[in-house]
Amino acid sequence: MYLGMHGGDVEEVARRYNIDKKNIIDFSANINPLGISEKCKEAMIDSLNNINVYPDITYFRLKKSISRFENINSNNIFLGNGAAECIFNVVRAINPKKALIPAPSFSEYKQAVDSVDGEIKYHVLKENNNFNFDEDFICDITEDVDLVFICNPNNPTGTLTSREFILKVIEKAKIVDAIIVIDESFLDFVFEEERYTLKNLINSFDRLVIIKSLTKFFALPGVRVGYGITSNTKIMKAIKKISIPWNINTVAVEGSIASLNDTEYIKKTREYMEKERENLYKEIKSHKGIKVFNPSVNYIFFKLESNIDLRGKLLEKNILIRSCENYYGLDNRYYRVAVKSNSDNKILVKLLEEVLNE
């Protein structure tokens, strides 16, 4: 069965299985179920009047909006056509010989390191520790490692890692002269993000890079805007040298600025997600034969006791979920589902019960 590298591949799934894509409810991509903000939509429509003009090559206004949103200096921001481009550009700028990557985690880290022929050292997170980081990870930051990735919250497990632990990682990285990349792409969904983010310490650690995405929280996967934060001038210069000019289009710029400034939308999203995530978590957890890991953001990670093809059986009912068997360290019993609208979530729960009772 076709699994794909990521969630959200509705077009390809529809073609392969001859399903009308309009009938598919996609739980495989972790996108804000509220959709884009109305202010964002209006700004993007208005921006069509300016598509006959090149975007500002410095992206001054977008960087200023990110600067206000994150409360950081705009000089510490670099942009990308999605967080994936930021990750690839960081890796190409550093050109690591060996990278330490936790497993399971986001697949782009491996792809980026592979693109520069770097060696990968995996640290497999333990299920009996609920896939949390422990001191063994710090021990794996050895003299031959020059790049370390941490996804916080982690994708696909949803586990959050404390600032205190990451600070220990940074201290070890300083000893071995390694760069730390913290991917905070989902952290905007967390109410108490200040307990976890490292952005306000960016000027204290020049070996630190933070990656963020507008795709997930602001529901802009088709627009492609991501950004990175670092105080390391050497990395910033190297990224500038390899980055493609005008890599973000005018429509994306205006939509992103409007989204970042829409405080009501941000508040509404966090409140909705807090409530709906807990509801879906409890419903899935109530089924026998499923081990559900405590969620922190807009997706839920779980494991089946049996080896049934849950993704295939739900796809027959036009429900697309994310099988996690192609994540390093996992097998075909692990799945991830996004938190969607209340009505869609009820459909998932109902059909999940039908499949498990067959």
- Which pLDDT tens digit goes with each residue over 188-219? 999 888 889 999 999 999 999 999 999 999 99
Task: Annotate 18-48 with b (16+ C-beta within 10 A) or e (fewer).
Answer: ebeeeebbbbbbbbbbeebbebbeebbeebe
Residues 28 and 322: beta-carbon distance below 8 Å = yes
> What is the pLDDT at residue 194?
87
CA distance 321 to 311: 6
Tell me which residue of 261, 250, 220, 258 sits closest to 49, measured CA to CA.
250
Average pLDDT over residues 128-144: 96
> What is the pLDDT at residue 4?
53
Tell me which residue of 7, 105, 4, 104 sits closest to 319, measured CA to CA.
7
Average pLDDT over residues 292-299: 94
Q: End of a domain among 261, 295, 323?
A: 261
Residue 4 lies in a domain: no
Residue 283 lies in a domain: yes
Give me the torsion for CA of 165, 171, 78, 161, rounded to 10°: -10
In this structure, are 45 and 148 located in the same domain? yes
Number of structural domains the chain divides into: 2
The tens digit of pLDDT for each residue in 309-357 reads 999 999 999 999 999 999 999 999 999 999 999 999 999 999 999 998 8
Distance of CA 179 to the CA centre of its chain: 20
Q: End of a domain among 227, 261, 295?
A: 261
User: First and final CA of the chain: distance in angstroms?
Assistant: 20
Confidence band (pLDDT; 50, 70, 90) for 5?
A: low
In this structure, are 144 and 217 located in the same domain? yes
Residue 297, domain CATH: 3.90.1150.10
Residue 2 lies in a domain: no
In this structure, are 99 and 214 located in the same domain? yes
Task: Annotate 200-222 with b (16+ C-beta within 10 A) or e (fewer).
Answer: eebeebebbbbbbbbbbbbbbbe
The pair of three-digit structure tokens given for residue 10, joined into one six-digit string: 């509705």
Residue 277 lies in a domain: yes
* Domain extent at residue 307: 10-30+264-357
Residue 181 lies in a domain: yes
In this structure, are 187 and 308 located in the same domain? no
Does residue 227 surpass a pLDDT of 60? yes
In this structure, are 161 and 252 located in the same domain? yes
The pLDDT mean for the chain works out to 94
Residue 1 lies in a domain: no
CA distance 7 to 216: 12
153 cis-preceded (ω within 30 degrees of 0): yes
In this structure, are 124 and 194 located in the same domain? yes
In this structure, are 220 and 313 located in the same domain? no
In this structure, are 196 and 112 located in the same domain? yes
CA distance 89 to 149: 14
